[in-house]
Amino acid sequence: MKNNALLWLAPALVACALSVSPLRAADDAAWPKGASPQEIGLRVAEHFVATPHGDGLRTRRDQIIYPEVCAWYGALTFAQLTTNKDLTAQLTRRFEPIFGAEANLIPRAVSVDNTIFGAIPLELYMETHEQRYLDMGKAFPDQQWQAPQGTRLSAEVSGWVAQGLSWHSRFWIDDMYMLTLVEVQAYRATGQTQYMDRAALEMTAYLDKLQQTNGLFYHALDVPFFWGRGDGWMAAGMSELLRSLPENHPKRARILEGYKKMMAALLRYQGANGMWHQLIDHPESFEETSCTGMFTFAMISGVKNGWLEEASYGPAARKGWLGLVSFINDKAEIREVCDGTNKQNSLNYYLTRTRSVGNLHGQAPVLWCASAWLRPAATAAAPGARQ
CATH number where 23 lies: 1.50.10.10
Residues 165, 205 contacting (CB under 8 angstroms) = yes
Per-residue pLDDT, 24 = 62
Q: How far, in Å, CA of 34 to CA of 42, rounded?
A: 11
Per-residue pLDDT, 26 = 63
**Residue 385 belongs to a domain:** no
**Residue 201 belongs to a domain:** yes
In sequence order, what are the residues at sequence separation of 6 or more whose Cβ sits closer than 8 angstroms to the Cβ of residue 248?
none
Per-residue pLDDT, 2 = 41
Q: What is the identity of the amino acid at 379?
A: T
Per-residue pLDDT, 60 = 54
**Residue 380 belongs to a domain:** no
Dump strand ranges (E) for 258-315: none
Please write the tens of the pLDDT for every residue from 239-255: 999 999 999 999 999 99
**Residue 2 belongs to a domain:** no
Measuring CA to CA, which residue among 202, 226, 210 is closest to residue 172? 210
Residues 137, 76 contacting (CB under 8 angstroms) = no
Domain range for 69 is: 7-146+164-374
Residues 45, 333 contacting (CB under 8 angstroms) = no
**Residue 381 belongs to a domain:** no
Per-residue pLDDT, 111 = 93
Q: How far, in Å, CA of 84 to CA of 102, rounded?
A: 26
**Residue 387 belongs to a domain:** no
**Residue 46 belongs to a domain:** yes
Per-residue pLDDT, 27 = 67
Per-residue pLDDT, 159 = 96
Q: What is the identity of the amino acid at 324?
A: L
Per-residue pLDDT, 29 = 75
Q: What is the identity of the amino acid at 279?
A: L
**Residue 154 belongs to a domain:** no
- Give the count of domains, the chain: 1
Q: How far, in Å, CA of 361 to CA of 177, rounded?
A: 13
Per-residue pLDDT, 15 = 47
Per-residue pLDDT, 373 = 96
Q: How far, in Å, CA of 276 to CA of 270, rounded?
A: 5
Show the low-confidence residues of the chain (pLDDT under 70). 1-28, 55-61, 379-387
Per-residue pLDDT, 21 = 63
Per-residue pLDDT, 280 = 98
